[in-house]
Protein backbone atom coordinates (compact mmCIF):
# COMPACT_ATOMS: atom_id res chain seq x y z
CA UNK A 1 0.00 0.00 0.00
CA UNK A 2 1.27 3.45 -0.86
CA UNK A 3 0.56 6.29 1.57
CA UNK A 4 0.27 9.75 0.07
CA UNK A 5 1.25 12.73 2.18
CA UNK A 6 1.32 16.42 1.40
CA UNK A 7 4.63 17.40 -0.16
CA UNK A 8 6.96 19.29 2.17
CA UNK A 9 6.97 22.23 -0.22
CA UNK A 10 3.19 22.71 0.07
CA UNK A 11 2.44 25.06 2.97
CA UNK A 12 0.85 23.42 5.98
CA UNK A 13 -2.89 23.94 6.36
CA UNK A 14 -3.12 25.67 3.01
CA UNK A 15 -6.17 24.87 0.94
CA UNK A 16 -6.23 25.53 -2.78
CA UNK A 17 -8.63 28.22 -3.86
CA UNK A 18 -8.97 26.98 -7.44
CA UNK A 19 -12.36 26.09 -8.92
CA UNK A 20 -13.60 22.52 -8.36
CA UNK A 21 -12.10 20.17 -10.92
CA UNK A 22 -9.41 22.59 -12.05
CA UNK A 23 -6.04 20.99 -12.84
CA UNK A 24 -4.02 23.82 -11.27
CA UNK A 25 -4.06 21.99 -7.95
CA UNK A 26 -2.63 18.85 -9.52
CA UNK A 27 0.02 20.80 -11.41
CA UNK A 28 1.11 22.68 -8.30
CA UNK A 29 1.28 19.50 -6.29
CA UNK A 30 3.51 17.95 -8.96
CA UNK A 31 5.79 20.98 -8.87
CA UNK A 32 5.99 20.70 -5.08
CA UNK A 33 6.74 16.97 -5.25
CA UNK A 34 9.56 17.54 -7.72
CA UNK A 35 11.02 20.35 -5.59
CA UNK A 36 10.98 17.89 -2.67
CA UNK A 37 12.58 15.11 -4.66
CA UNK A 38 15.34 17.35 -5.98
CA UNK A 39 15.81 18.89 -2.54
CA UNK A 40 15.35 22.37 -4.00
CA UNK A 41 12.87 23.93 -1.58
CA UNK A 42 15.37 26.04 0.35
CA UNK A 43 17.21 27.41 -2.65
CA UNK A 44 14.20 28.20 -4.81
CA UNK A 45 12.70 31.50 -5.80
CA UNK A 46 9.39 31.06 -7.61
CA UNK A 47 7.85 33.73 -9.81
CA UNK A 48 4.06 33.93 -9.81
CA UNK A 49 2.16 35.80 -12.46
CA UNK A 50 -1.27 37.31 -13.00
CA UNK A 51 -4.28 35.10 -13.53
CA UNK A 52 -5.36 31.96 -11.72
CA UNK A 53 -1.71 31.18 -10.96
CA UNK A 54 -1.18 34.37 -8.98
CA UNK A 55 -1.69 32.92 -5.50
CA UNK A 56 1.25 30.56 -5.83
CA UNK A 57 2.86 32.00 -2.72
CA UNK A 58 -0.16 31.02 -0.64
CA UNK A 59 0.44 27.36 -1.42
CA UNK A 60 4.11 26.81 -2.11
CA UNK A 61 6.48 27.00 0.83
CA UNK A 62 9.32 28.65 -1.08
CA UNK A 63 10.51 32.25 -1.54
CA UNK A 64 8.19 33.76 -4.09
CA UNK A 65 7.66 37.02 -5.95
CA UNK A 66 4.63 38.05 -7.94
CA UNK A 67 5.36 39.49 -11.36
CA UNK A 68 3.42 42.06 -13.35
CA UNK A 69 1.17 40.37 -15.91
CA UNK A 70 3.27 38.61 -18.53
CA UNK A 71 6.66 39.64 -17.18
CA UNK A 72 7.45 36.54 -15.14
CA UNK A 73 10.35 35.41 -17.34
CA UNK A 74 11.92 38.90 -17.20
CA UNK A 75 11.55 38.98 -13.42
CA UNK A 76 13.04 35.47 -13.22
CA UNK A 77 15.92 36.59 -15.46
CA UNK A 78 16.67 39.42 -13.03
CA UNK A 79 16.55 37.14 -9.99
CA UNK A 80 18.72 34.42 -11.51
CA UNK A 81 21.31 36.82 -12.86
CA UNK A 82 21.43 38.97 -9.72
CA UNK A 83 22.14 35.92 -7.60
CA UNK A 84 24.75 34.74 -10.05
CA UNK A 85 26.46 38.14 -9.89
CA UNK A 86 26.64 37.67 -6.11
CA UNK A 87 28.17 34.22 -6.60
CA UNK A 88 25.02 32.28 -5.73
CA UNK A 89 23.30 29.66 -7.82
CA UNK A 90 19.61 29.71 -6.94
CA UNK A 91 16.82 27.69 -8.49
CA UNK A 92 14.34 29.98 -10.26
CA UNK A 93 11.13 29.01 -11.99
CA UNK A 94 8.02 30.78 -13.21
CA UNK A 95 4.48 29.45 -12.95
CA UNK A 96 2.27 31.14 -15.50
CA UNK A 97 -0.94 30.76 -17.43
CA UNK A 98 -1.09 30.63 -21.22
CA UNK A 99 -2.39 34.21 -21.41
CA UNK A 100 0.46 35.37 -19.24
CA UNK A 101 3.21 33.40 -20.95
CA UNK A 102 2.09 33.34 -24.57
CA UNK A 103 -0.01 36.49 -25.03
CA UNK A 104 0.87 39.58 -23.01
CA UNK A 105 4.24 38.12 -22.04
CA UNK A 106 5.31 36.46 -25.27
CA UNK A 107 8.10 38.97 -25.79
CA UNK A 108 9.61 38.39 -22.34
CA UNK A 109 9.03 34.61 -22.64
CA UNK A 110 10.54 34.13 -26.08
CA UNK A 111 13.50 36.40 -25.41
CA UNK A 112 14.30 34.61 -22.16
CA UNK A 113 14.30 31.34 -24.12
CA UNK A 114 16.37 32.88 -26.92
CA UNK A 115 18.95 34.23 -24.47
CA UNK A 116 19.06 30.79 -22.89
CA UNK A 117 18.32 32.11 -19.42
CA UNK A 118 18.97 29.26 -17.03
CA UNK A 119 15.45 29.25 -15.62
CA UNK A 120 12.38 27.03 -15.95
CA UNK A 121 8.93 28.16 -17.04
CA UNK A 122 5.80 26.15 -16.30
CA UNK A 123 2.86 27.27 -18.42
CA UNK A 124 -0.66 26.12 -17.58
CA UNK A 125 -2.59 26.07 -20.85
CA UNK A 126 -6.34 25.97 -20.28
CA UNK A 127 -7.16 27.66 -23.60
CA UNK A 128 -8.80 30.75 -22.10
CA UNK A 129 -8.42 33.63 -19.66
CA UNK A 130 -9.76 31.75 -16.67
CA UNK A 131 -9.62 34.27 -13.87
CA UNK A 132 -11.58 36.94 -15.70
CA UNK A 133 -14.31 34.49 -16.65
CA UNK A 134 -13.23 32.63 -19.76
CA UNK A 135 -12.37 35.03 -22.57
CA UNK A 136 -10.67 34.01 -25.79
CA UNK A 137 -6.93 33.73 -25.30
CA UNK A 138 -3.94 33.08 -27.55
CA UNK A 139 -4.45 29.33 -27.13
CA UNK A 140 -8.23 29.15 -27.60
CA UNK A 141 -8.76 26.57 -30.31
CA UNK A 142 -10.55 27.10 -33.62
CA UNK A 143 -14.24 26.75 -32.99
CA UNK A 144 -13.89 27.25 -29.23
CA UNK A 145 -16.74 29.21 -27.72
CA UNK A 146 -15.65 31.74 -25.10
CA UNK A 147 -17.24 34.87 -23.67
CA UNK A 148 -15.45 36.97 -26.30
CA UNK A 149 -15.81 34.49 -29.16
CA UNK A 150 -19.46 33.58 -28.63
CA UNK A 151 -19.77 32.12 -32.12
CA UNK A 152 -16.61 30.12 -31.79
CA UNK A 153 -13.04 31.06 -32.67
CA UNK A 154 -12.98 31.68 -36.38
CA UNK A 155 -9.66 31.74 -38.21
CA UNK A 156 -10.71 34.47 -40.65
CA UNK A 157 -12.20 36.64 -37.95
CA UNK A 158 -10.07 35.90 -34.88
CA UNK A 159 -6.91 34.40 -36.28
CA UNK A 160 -5.07 31.29 -35.19
CA UNK A 161 -4.03 29.99 -31.79
CA UNK A 162 -0.38 29.55 -30.78
CA UNK A 163 1.40 26.25 -30.18
CA UNK A 164 3.65 27.51 -27.42
CA UNK A 165 5.88 24.49 -26.73
CA UNK A 166 6.74 24.17 -30.43
CA UNK A 167 7.67 27.86 -30.57
CA UNK A 168 9.94 27.61 -27.56
CA UNK A 169 11.54 24.52 -29.13
CA UNK A 170 12.68 26.72 -32.01
CA UNK A 171 14.75 28.91 -29.68
CA UNK A 172 18.46 28.08 -29.69
CA UNK A 173 18.71 28.98 -26.03
CA UNK A 174 16.06 26.45 -24.97
CA UNK A 175 17.36 23.22 -23.47
CA UNK A 176 14.03 21.51 -23.13
CA UNK A 177 10.46 22.08 -24.29
CA UNK A 178 7.58 19.70 -23.78
CA UNK A 179 3.79 19.54 -23.54
CA UNK A 180 2.04 17.28 -21.05
CA UNK A 181 -1.53 16.71 -19.86
CA UNK A 182 -3.16 15.72 -16.58
CA UNK A 183 -6.31 13.91 -17.70
CA UNK A 184 -5.39 10.48 -16.29
CA UNK A 185 -2.92 8.88 -13.90
CA UNK A 186 -0.53 7.83 -16.62
CA UNK A 187 -0.32 11.37 -17.93
CA UNK A 188 -0.01 12.84 -14.45
CA UNK A 189 2.97 10.58 -13.75
CA UNK A 190 4.48 11.57 -17.10
CA UNK A 191 3.87 15.24 -16.31
CA UNK A 192 5.71 14.91 -13.04
CA UNK A 193 8.67 13.22 -14.71
CA UNK A 194 8.72 15.90 -17.37
CA UNK A 195 8.69 18.73 -14.82
CA UNK A 196 11.49 16.93 -13.03
CA UNK A 197 13.51 16.75 -16.20
CA UNK A 198 12.99 20.45 -16.87
CA UNK A 199 14.09 21.30 -13.33
CA UNK A 200 17.11 19.03 -13.61
CA UNK A 201 18.16 20.76 -16.81
CA UNK A 202 18.24 24.05 -14.96
CA UNK A 203 20.23 22.47 -12.15
CA UNK A 204 22.72 21.29 -14.75
CA UNK A 205 22.90 24.81 -16.20
CA UNK A 206 21.71 23.81 -19.66
CA UNK A 207 19.54 26.86 -20.35
CA UNK A 208 15.85 27.68 -20.62
CA UNK A 209 13.58 24.71 -19.88
CA UNK A 210 9.86 24.77 -20.52
CA UNK A 211 6.83 22.63 -19.77
CA UNK A 212 3.38 23.45 -21.11
CA UNK A 213 0.66 21.69 -19.17
CA UNK A 214 -2.72 21.16 -20.85
CA UNK A 215 -5.10 21.85 -18.06
CA UNK A 216 -8.83 21.73 -17.54
CA UNK A 217 -11.06 24.71 -16.83
CA UNK A 218 -14.44 23.13 -16.04
CA UNK A 219 -15.98 26.40 -14.83
CA UNK A 220 -15.34 28.35 -18.00
CA UNK A 221 -15.62 25.42 -20.37
CA UNK A 222 -19.00 24.77 -18.75
CA UNK A 223 -18.25 21.05 -18.51
CA UNK A 224 -17.99 18.63 -15.62
CA UNK A 225 -14.46 17.78 -14.44
CA UNK A 226 -14.80 14.38 -16.08
CA UNK A 227 -15.99 15.80 -19.38
CA UNK A 228 -13.25 18.40 -19.22
CA UNK A 229 -10.62 15.70 -19.02
CA UNK A 230 -12.35 13.83 -21.81
CA UNK A 231 -12.17 16.99 -23.91
CA UNK A 232 -8.44 17.26 -23.28
CA UNK A 233 -7.90 13.60 -24.14
CA UNK A 234 -10.07 13.55 -27.26
CA UNK A 235 -9.84 17.08 -28.67
CA UNK A 236 -7.18 19.32 -27.15
CA UNK A 237 -4.33 16.83 -27.23
CA UNK A 238 -5.00 16.44 -30.98
CA UNK A 239 -4.53 20.19 -31.56
CA UNK A 240 -1.84 20.53 -28.94
CA UNK A 241 0.17 17.35 -29.37
CA UNK A 242 1.71 15.91 -26.26
CA UNK A 243 5.41 15.17 -26.26
CA UNK A 244 8.90 16.58 -26.14
CA UNK A 245 9.70 19.14 -28.84
CA UNK A 246 13.21 19.91 -27.81
CA UNK A 247 15.69 18.03 -25.68
CA UNK A 248 19.23 19.32 -25.86
CA UNK A 249 20.51 15.96 -24.65
CA UNK A 250 18.99 14.14 -27.61
CA UNK A 251 20.41 16.37 -30.30
Partner 1 sequence: MSEKQLLKGNIAIAKAALNCGCSCYFGYPITPQTEIGEFLSLEMQERNLAYVCAESEIGAINMALGAASTGAKVMTSSSSCAVSLMQEALSYACSDELPIVLVNVMRAGPGQGYIFPSQGDYNQSTIGGGNGDYKIIVLSPSNVQECIELTYKAFYLAQKYRNPVILLADGLLGQMAEPAKLFDNPYPNIDNTSWILNGSNGRKSRSIHSLEPSQLKLNQHIFNLHKKYQAIEQNEVDYEEYLCDDADIIITSFGSLARHSKAVCNHYREKGIKMGLFRPKTLYPFPYKRLNELSKKTKLFIDIEMNLGQMLRDVRLSILSNAQVSFIGKPVGDWLKKEELINAIDNIAKEQYASI
Residues of this chain that interact with partner 1 (CB under 8 A) are 11, 41-45, 47-48, 54-55, 57, 60-68, 71, 74-86, 88, 90-91, 107-108, 111, 115
In the bound state with partner 1, the residue whose beta carbon lies nearer, of 72 and 232, is 72
- Name the strand (E) or helix (H) holding 122: strand 120-125
CB of 17 to partner 1, least distance (A): 9
CB of 112 or CB of 228, closer to partner 1: 112
User: Considering beta carbons, is residue 64 or 223 the nearer one to partner 1?
Assistant: 64
- Dist CA 149 CA 163 (whole Å): 19
Interatomic CA distance for residues 224 and 130, integer angstroms: 16
* Residue nearer to partner 1 on the CB measure, 107 or 224: 107
**Which residue, 48 or 182, has its beta carbon nearer to partner 1?**
48
Rounded to whole angstroms, the Cα distance separating 47 from 231 reads 30
Chain centroid to Cα 190, Å, comes to 15
Can you say whether the dihedral through the CA atoms of 149, 98, 134, 29 is positive or negative?
Answer: positive
Minimum distance between the CB of residue 108 and partner 1, rounded to whole angstroms? 5
Q: What is the C-alpha to C-alpha distance for residues 189 and 192, in angstroms, rounded to an integer?
A: 5
Whole-number minimum distance, CB 126 to partner 1, in Å? 20
Minimum Å gap between C-beta 33 and partner 1 is: 17
- For the bound state, the minimum distance from the C-beta of residue 19 to partner 1, rounded and expressed in Å, comes to 16
d(CA 99, CA 167): 15
Of residues 73 and 165, the one with the C-beta less far from partner 1? 73
Q: What angle do CA 50, 141, 214 make, to 5 degrees?
A: 55
C-alpha–C-alpha distance, residues 241 and 208, integer Å? 21
Q: Least distance to partner 1 from the beta carbon of 223, Å?
A: 27
Beta-bridge mates of residue 66: 48
Q: Please name every residue paired with 46 in a beta bridge, in sequence order, or none if there are none.
A: 64, 93
Amino acid sequence: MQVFSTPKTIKENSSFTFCPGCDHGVALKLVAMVLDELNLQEQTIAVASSGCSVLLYDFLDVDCIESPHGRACAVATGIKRAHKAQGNNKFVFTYQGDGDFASIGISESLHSALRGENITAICINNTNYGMTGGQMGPTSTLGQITSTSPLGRNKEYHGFPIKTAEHIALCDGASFSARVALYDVKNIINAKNTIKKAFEYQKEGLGFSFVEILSSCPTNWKLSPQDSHKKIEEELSKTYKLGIFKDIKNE
